[in-house]
Amino acid sequence: MNEKKRAKYLIFFLIEIVSNLLSYCAFSRQNSNHYVSCY
């Protein structure tokens, strides 16, 4: 696997993780009894 392909894959992977964290944050914010801080 060449470096450019690996970098692109890594970026997509990081974006996936970040979006999962953000959606988890939004979900936690809706549940006020189980609030998780995103910051």
Task: State how far the Cα of 20 lies from the Cα of 11, in Å rounded to an integer.
Answer: 14
For 38, residues 6+ apart whose C-beta sits below 8 A from its C-beta are 21, 22, 25, 28, 29
What was the pLDDT predicted at 38? 53
How many whole angstroms separate alpha carbon 38 and alpha carbon 23? 10
Q: What is the pLDDT of residue 27?
A: 66
pTM of the model: 0.53
| pLDDT, position 12 | 95
Query: For the segment 1-39, what is each residue's pLDDT rounded down to a tens digit?
Result: 689 999 999 999 999 998 888 777 666 556 555 555 554
Whole-number Å distance between alpha carbons of 5 and 36: 35
Q: Can you give the pLDDT at residue 4?
A: 93
* Whole-number Å distance between alpha carbons of 20 and 6: 21
